[in-house]
Chains A and B, each alone.
Chain A
Amino acid sequence: MLKFPYCNVTDLNQALAQCRFVGLLGPLASRRQSPRAVVSCSPSSSEFSLTPVQAVMSCQQQVGSSLVNRLRLGGLTEDGLSYKEKFIIRGFEVGINKIATIETIANLLQEVGSNHAQSVGFSTDGFGTTPTMRKLHLIWVTARMHIEVYKYPAWRDVIEIETWSQNEGRIGTRRDWILNEVATGEVIGRATSKWVMMNQDTRRMQKVSDDVKEEYLVFCPREPRLAFSEKNNKSLKRIAKLEDPVRYSKLGLKPRRADLDMNQHVNNVTYIGWVLESIPKEIIDTHELQAITLFYRRECQQYDVVDSLTGLELTEDSKTVSVGTNGSATATATTREDDHDCHRFLHLLRLSSDGREISRGRTEWRKKPTR
């Protein structure tokens, strides 16, 4: 039995603040039912809200904490509202440019999101669902993804990714990421994504009550925190649907078994690969992907066949789309100097069979820096 010769609440405040309670909640929470409360001990607030902790504290579980948790170079941040993890870029994660591919970056974002969910006590099977969601047969699906990479890490570089999630609108949740290079501390990328809940059985999006949302929102910052805080940032840009005829295409893409996730669906990162399939070789050889935005409309199953279409994006300023007579893509807005080496494309992924849209997207490419 613990003794607490506290004299008053203020002493308790001090003790708790010093102990960084919330930060410590992380690793333990994964080994029991999700705790119902979080204490926010941010130094800026002079008082804090406490709600009773209902979790049972059984130390036996904690001592056998998994090796992977210890090896994982990440954890909740001090205020418990975001999660950071370090990764080293491995040899098989780099591509033809000797730098990490966009698929590697996307995979790491997914991994960090999943580890965040695990560390706050959600499922340990990688789906990131809360207990109530599982009871209601709900799973998370991505609705939108936007990634910007300012500098691609190379083999053996160590990067750190911070992620957090927040409420968005009535049915969505947003997850944001910031990537930085550990060696220099510079921000090398940012990303934001929108997720909605889908019923596993009906495969339809489902609204949930606020209580269900609250289960995970306790771990989210209440004050809006955006990876892309600037107004009119690219992540919000509307993407027009590409119409035939399109400039570039790659038809008949079939999901491989390796593209399926644990849910037996084509995972989101594969879509990125499909979008890139119809980019012409001249661009891939000389440019690197600066930003990619994808709206996910329909899920793709193992036996679907997909067409990937790419067209040039017409910008507001340009009067005509200039296309070289040899068919190679040239900048859409040649009037603006800063776009001289920048290419922008619109994309559409659709089912080969009936043309239904699976995903639409937008990419921006910049000239490869000399390394």
Chain B
Amino acid sequence: MVATAATSSFFPVTSSPDSSDSKNKKLGSGSTNLGGIKPKPSASSGSLQVKANAQAPPKINGTTVVTSSVEGFKNEDGTGSPHPRTFINQLPDWSMLLAAITTIFLAAEKQWMMLDWKPRRPDMLIDPFGIGRIVQDGLVFRQNFSIRSYEIGADRTASIETLMNHLQETAINHCKSAGLLGEGFGATPEMCKKNLIWVVTRMQVVFDRYPTWGDVVQVDTWVSASGKNGMRRDWLVSDSKTGEVLTRASSVWVMMNKLTRRLSKIPEEVRGEIEPFFMNSDPVVAEDSRKLVKLDKSMAEHVRKGLTPRWSDLDVNQHVNNVKYIGWILESAPLPVLETHELSSMTLEYRRECGRECKLQSLTTVSDSSVGDLVNVGEIECQHLLQLEEGSEIVRGRTQWRPKYAKSFGNVGQIPAESA
């Protein structure tokens, strides 16, 4: 499900959903504003608010609390008893004492925690809803996502769909915050004038480790040139807490005229809009130059027919969302593979898109192994084809799988330094 654009929803864009977007156009620096949102500091008791209510002193020592409350009590009372209160002959009963200790401890600890986390992560205050913000000289967009309970799959790790959705979301938000979101279909303002749209042609993703429930992932994304007339968008996903790289992805986009459906060169005006945002860097995932083979039925060991989109698979234009294609491809992998292995990398080529009325079939071949032996094999590679039942190709792919719980020792990626 995605609020995106014409041909494929891997687009870094969408038609702006509502008028609040017009307030958000900020080029480059700074964090994005939520136009329609007025933060109410006095609103509900979110965790940020609790400290205001705690009225607890920054000391563990209970005396400070007691003094103030006692004084308060005295004032209200009016009479006030000035005789000294000694500790020993005023011992409250033990359950009260325990409760009191807890209170004070909790209150103090709460304050302590608040003080503790503010300086360490100031960015969280700027970006409380995790919309993301531009970092690194205005070229990299960063957004955090916490993995929610319903985003966990049967393997107890975040589902591939969730991870792909994060990539897509950051791409859209990057374009939005950079002011590259024109009206309509996934295009900059100049592109819109010329009826041009971005179309994703290729996607490569490497999964080093899957996050689980409770993890917070940080997604960094940036764009670069790809050849003379293409654009490349890269993502680097890391664990917010440890910095460990979880996922690396690289995608290639070309420009197409949405009316003629023909590929187009990048016009000068558009170049002017987007080139300032290009980073000169190598792809975060080394390009897999092996050709993707087109499977046919005779080669395919596993065929799954009758795949039809559900309502929730469609984007705003009633086309099937790209992320869903990946889901179908993976669904069709042989069950022994799915049960004992996890996806370690995939390479996809997007050919066509389809809508609600399509009937698709998914073909899979396992390279170099026989299915029966899969449980004992280490790495497995599969070739995939997703096509309409009447023949047109939608997506071609290659996937690599490693046994679950095996660690990956791939290169640790880093955000490329800007090179002049």
Contact of B34 with A by CB under 8 A: yes
Within 8 A of A (CB), among B28-43: 34, 36-38, 40, 43
Task: Tell me the bound Cα distance from A66 to B117 in angstroms.
Answer: 11
Looking across the interface, which residue of chain A has its beta carbon closest to that of B93? Answer: A9
Segment among A100-108, A143-151, A203-211, A354-362 that sits at the interface with chain B:
A100-108
Contact of B331 with A by CB under 8 A: yes
Q: What would 12 more interface pairs be, CB under 8 Å, given A6-B90, A71-B216, A96-B314?
A: A3-B63, A4-B100, A6-B70, A15-B100, A19-B54, A23-B50, A52-B95, A78-B53, A88-B34, A91-B168, A91-B173, A95-B314
**Are B50 and A63 in contact, with the CB atoms below 8 A?**
no
Taking a contact as CB atoms closer than 8 A, the residue among A19, A65, A84, A97 that contacts B56 in the complex is: A19
Task: Tell me the bound Cα distance from A95 to B316 in angstroms.
Answer: 6
Contact of B152 with A by CB under 8 A: yes
Collect the chain A residues with CB atoms within 8 Å of residue B85's CB.
Answer: 5-7
Task: Tell me the bound Cα distance from A260 to B116 in angstroms.
Answer: 39
Within 8 A of A (CB), among B161-218: 161, 165, 168-169, 172-173, 213-216
Residue of A114, A115, A126, A162 ringed by the most chain B CB atoms within 10 A: A126
Could you pull out 12 A-B pairs where Cβ atoms are within 8 angstroms? A4-B62, A20-B53, A27-B113, A52-B95, A67-B146, A68-B147, A75-B45, A75-B46, A96-B316, A156-B34, A156-B131, A258-B159
Within 8 A of B (CB), among A159-190: 160, 162, 182-183
Contact of A57 with B by CB under 8 A: yes
Using A2-B61, A7-B85 as known contacts, say yes or no to A88 and B129 having CB atoms under 8 A apart. yes
Listed from nearest, the 7 A-B pairs whose CB atoms lie closest are A92-B165, A75-B47, A260-B154, A24-B106, A126-B149, A52-B95, A88-B129
**Nearest CB in chain A: distance from B407 CB, A:** 22
**Are B45 and A3 in contact, with the CB atoms below 8 A?**
no
Contact of A277 with B by CB under 8 A: yes
Looking across the interface, which residue of chain B has its beta carbon closest to that of A65? Answer: B113
Using A9-B92, A88-B130, A256-B331 as known contacts, say yes or no to A94 and B1 having CB atoms under 8 A apart. yes
Contact of B293 with A by CB under 8 A: no
Collect the chain B residues with CB atoms within 8 Å of residue A273's CB.
Answer: 310-312
**Are A24 and B50 in contact, with the CB atoms below 8 A?**
yes
Collect the chain A residues with CB atoms within 8 Å of residue B79's CB.
Answer: none
Residue of B3, B124, B213, B323 ringed by the most chain A CB atoms within 10 A: B3
**Nearest CB in chain B: distance from A156 CB, A:** 6
**Nearest CB in chain B: distance from A85 CB, A:** 7
Using A21-B103, A24-B110, A53-B99 as known contacts, say yes or no to A111 and B90 having CB atoms under 8 A apart. no
Contact of B107 with A by CB under 8 A: yes
**Are B92 and A6 in contact, with the CB atoms below 8 A?**
yes
Within 8 A of A (CB), among B325-355: 327, 330-331, 338
Residue of A10, A182, A252 ringed by the most chain B CB atoms within 10 A: A182
Using A19-B55, A94-B3 as known contacts, say yes or no to A160 and B66 having CB atoms under 8 A apart. no
Residue of A8, A74, A258, A267 ringed by the most chain B CB atoms within 10 A: A258
Within 8 A of A (CB), among B300-331: 306, 310-312, 314-318, 321, 323, 327, 330-331
Collect the chain A residues with CB atoms within 8 Å of residue B124's CB.
Answer: 70-71
Looking across the interface, which residue of chain B has its beta carbon closest to that of A48? Answer: B99
**Are A88 and B131 in contact, with the CB atoms below 8 A?**
yes
Taking a contact as CB atoms closer than 8 A, the residue among A9, A12, A93, A158 that contacts B34 in the complex is: A158
**Nearest CB in chain A: distance from B132 CB, A:** 11
Using A71-B144, A124-B214, A277-B310 as known contacts, say yes or no to A260 and B153 having CB atoms under 8 A apart. yes
Taking a contact as CB atoms closer than 8 A, the residue among A28, A37, A73, A126 that contacts B109 in the complex is: A28
**Are B66 and A267 in contact, with the CB atoms below 8 A?**
no
**Are A277 and B99 in contact, with the CB atoms below 8 A?**
no
Contact of B128 with A by CB under 8 A: yes
**Are A3 and B62 in contact, with the CB atoms below 8 A?**
yes
Looking across the interface, which residue of chain A has its beta carbon closest to that of B34? Answer: A156
Task: Tell me the bound Cα distance from A316 to B180 in angstroms.
Answer: 55
Collect the chain A residues with CB atoms within 8 Å of residue B56's CB.
Answer: 19
Collect the chain B residues with CB atoms within 8 Å of residue A75's CB.
Answer: 45-47, 49-50
Taking a contact as CB atoms closer than 8 A, the residue among A7, A11, A21, A257 that contacts B338 in the complex is: A257
**Are A7 and B70 in contact, with the CB atoms below 8 A?**
yes
Residue of A57, A101, A124 ringed by the most chain B CB atoms within 10 A: A57
Using A88-B131, A91-B4 as known contacts, say yes or no to A111 and B148 having CB atoms under 8 A apart. yes
Using A14-B72, A75-B46, A114-B149 as known contacts, say yes or no to A154 and B18 having CB atoms under 8 A apart. yes
B interface with A by C-beta (< 8 Å): 1-4, 14-15, 17-18, 20-21, 34, 36-38, 40, 43-50, 53-56, 60-63, 65-66, 69-70, 72-73, 85-87, 90, 92, 94-107, 109-110, 112-113, 116-117, 121, 124, 128-131, 144, 146-150, 152-154, 156, 159, 161, 165, 168-169, 172-173, 213-216, 240-241, 306, 310-312, 314-318, 321, 323, 327, 330-331, 338, 356
Using A50-B95, A156-B20 as known contacts, say yes or no to A68 and B106 having CB atoms under 8 A apart. no
Using A12-B92, A256-B327 as known contacts, say yes or no to A94 and B73 having CB atoms under 8 A apart. no
Contact of A25 with B by CB under 8 A: yes
**Are B45 and A23 in contact, with the CB atoms below 8 A?**
yes
**Are B241 and A91 in contact, with the CB atoms below 8 A?**
no
Using A19-B104, A75-B47, A98-B3 as known contacts, say yes or no to A154 and B17 having CB atoms under 8 A apart. yes
**Nearest CB in chain B: distance from A103 CB, A:** 6
**Are B1 and A92 in contact, with the CB atoms below 8 A?**
yes
Using A24-B110, A52-B95 as known contacts, say yes or no to A257 and B46 having CB atoms under 8 A apart. no
Within 8 A of B (CB), among A6-65: 6-12, 14-16, 18-21, 23-25, 27-28, 37, 39, 50-53, 55, 57, 59, 62-63, 65
Contact of A352 with B by CB under 8 A: no
**Are B146 and A71 in contact, with the CB atoms below 8 A?**
yes
**Are B149 and A94 in contact, with the CB atoms below 8 A?**
no
**Are A91 and B146 in contact, with the CB atoms below 8 A?**
no
Task: Tell me the bound Cα distance from A16 to B99 in angstroms.
Answer: 9
Using A5-B90, A94-B316, A262-B152 as known contacts, say yes or no to A52 and B99 having CB atoms under 8 A apart. yes
**Are A6 and B66 in contact, with the CB atoms below 8 A?**
yes
**Are A67 and B92 in contact, with the CB atoms below 8 A?**
no
